[in-house]
Chain A
Amino acid sequence: MKPRFHLILGALAIALTFGVTGYVLGKNQAPAVTQARSEKSPAERPSNPTRAGAQATKQRINVSEIRAQLEAEPNPLIRFRLASSRMEAWIAANPTEALAWLMSQQASARRAEILRIALNQYAENDPQGAADWVLKNLEGIELNNSLILIAEQWAQSNGRDAADWFLKQPQGRERDGAVEQILFAWASNDPGAAVDYLKANPTIENLTPTLQRAALAGWAKSEPEAAATRGLEMSRAAQDPGLFGITLANWATMDLQASSQWLLDHVPAGNERLSATQHLAKIYAQQSPDAGTSWLPKLTPGDERNTAAGILAASWSQADAVSAAKWATTQSLAQLSAESMVEIGHNLLRTDPAFFTSWSQALPEGPAKQQMGQFIPPAADQ
């Protein structure tokens, strides 16, 4: 845990840079993280007084006077210092003019610094205006990161307006990422409205599958069973088994045991269950391979269990190749695919070449053993 001083310092920073976003987010996180959030929430609240101060200043600001003062100052250093002192009030009164003035100045670190402060304040007061400005004036990583934070903040207060507005903007990677963020944040607060929005707009460019996943993932944070049930229906309707698989996986990241049991109890064998077991196998491999091997016997023998066992063992071998390899050759639950065995062998060769040799030689004849016989020893690595 960080010292309290850093908590306060960091929270004040977020108040400055991200406004109320952190607090609103914290308010809506899953119960599993409530403890951590409750520690930082009180310190984040001072962002509101900052905003209130800006509103109060708005009554007194004379924009023409500010502009005249700035344009009359020939020294760029003094000019930026003056701009910095007046920017909060100027943004509150006329953000586009303030930002346009900033952009008309010679590019420098100083300009970038004031611009960022101004933009954060603008997003608090008017997320649509801020998003519009960012889309038109930023690019690259600044566009990506700024747009996601603005979209998230906007979606917390009005997901529908945020989604409508962003979807009218030209398609691009950054815009699409913002829309994905909106559906996730919106569904975290109001899942019914977010999912109904997608139902009412069944073809949103080529984004519908991505947005459905985002909305169901957001829903799974607060009502995982309801999200999984709805996800199952939507997956079947769209013939998109991965939609259900990812919904269940998001539940599993919070409660692997409960999500696994729910799957066994509520979803019959089929494509949706197969997709979900594949995701669960990966998560078991990361979080608890032993629990994963205990989970396998509960799966339907055949494709479902074999596929899950192969993914579990191959993924496990990335972190602990020796244990995974030993398990793969001693277990009798499932038939592992040649691809899975080869991946295990590959990871084993990297970490324990001596054991790889004896392990691979003991394998029964077949495609996996044949392929592993052609592996290049690690001495050839750079």
Chain B
Amino acid sequence: MKTIANSLIAASSLLIGISGTTPQASAADLTLDGTGYYELGNSEFFLRRGAGQSGRYSNLGRNFYQDAELGISRITNNSFSRSGSMSFEFWAKPFYSATSGIIMMTRGFNPLSGDFNYPNVQTFGTAISLRQWRFPELNLFERGRRNWAWRDALTFSQSDYL
């Protein structure tokens, strides 16, 4: 595999940065907990019609892609109420603690009951192949009544060739 399985740490500074610009929706206290990782395939391929995604986006468009696996120990709903649908996303940030970046892959998850979690999350798909050095990051969004709202991020402290 060209990449890495790495442990991640919640970036509180990033939380502040992004929450200031993301539309808020009423919803649950959702967090990414424990260890997260990503693995990217050895080869890339060109998809004329883009790669199907789920979650916030259904397709990221015509581009070069690579097989990808994303994982996290737990996606937890820390509130008592049921969450909205979720989007677990792989991002490429220009620098450590940046507030914006290129969205590489999105995967949808069903709503989660209050005080429950999805353990040992492991999801497969196709991610954009940027072929550039960036800081990888896993993000979690929740669908509110009108908009998707950012909930949590796990960021890597080393850049990678994504």
Contacts and interface: CB of A to CB of B under 8 A. Distances in A.
Contact of A286 (B8, B94, B113): B8
B13 A242 contact: yes
B96 A382 contact: no
Interface residues of B, number: 58
A228 interface: no
B161 to A, nearest CB: 6
Given A149-B102, A180-B100, A350-B73, A214 B95 contact: yes
B95 A144 contact: no
A181 B157 CA distance: 18
Contacts of A144: 100, 102-103
Contacts of A2: 2, 42-43
B100 A318 contact: no
B9 interface: yes
Interface string B9-42: 1110100010011100000000001110000001
B49 interface: yes
Nearest to A180: B100
A362 interface: no
B97 A177 contact: no
Q: How large is the interface on A (under 10, 10 to 19, 20 to 34, 35 or more residues)?
A: 35 or more
Interface in A124-153: 140-142, 144-145, 148-149, 152
A22 B131 CA distance: 8
A381 B119 contact: yes
B35 A210 contact: no
Nearest to A148: B102
Interface in B138-162: 156-159, 161
Nearest to A317: B34
Contact of A253 (B112, B131, B157): B157
A382 B7 contact: no
A273 interface: no
A140 B98 CA distance: 19
Nearest to A220: B95
Contact of A184 (B44, B56, B95, B133): B95
A29 B133 contact: yes
Interface of B: 2, 6-11, 13, 17, 20-22, 33-35, 42-44, 46, 48-49, 56-57, 60-64, 73-74, 94-103, 112-113, 115-119, 128-129, 131-133, 135, 156-159, 161
Given A13-B46, A29-B133, A382-B117, 17 more contacts: A1-B2, A6-B43, A17-B64, A25-B133, A33-B133, A36-B133, A116-B62, A144-B102, A180-B98, A184-B94, A184-B95, A253-B158, A282-B9, A319-B7, A319-B34, A347-B33, A382-B112
Interface of A: 1-3, 6, 9-11, 13-14, 17, 21-22, 25-26, 29, 33, 36-37, 40, 109, 112-113, 116, 140-142, 144-145, 148-149, 152, 173, 176-178, 180-181, 184-185, 206, 210, 213-214, 217-218, 242, 245-246, 249-250, 252-253, 279, 282-283, 285-287, 315, 318-319, 347, 350, 376, 381-382
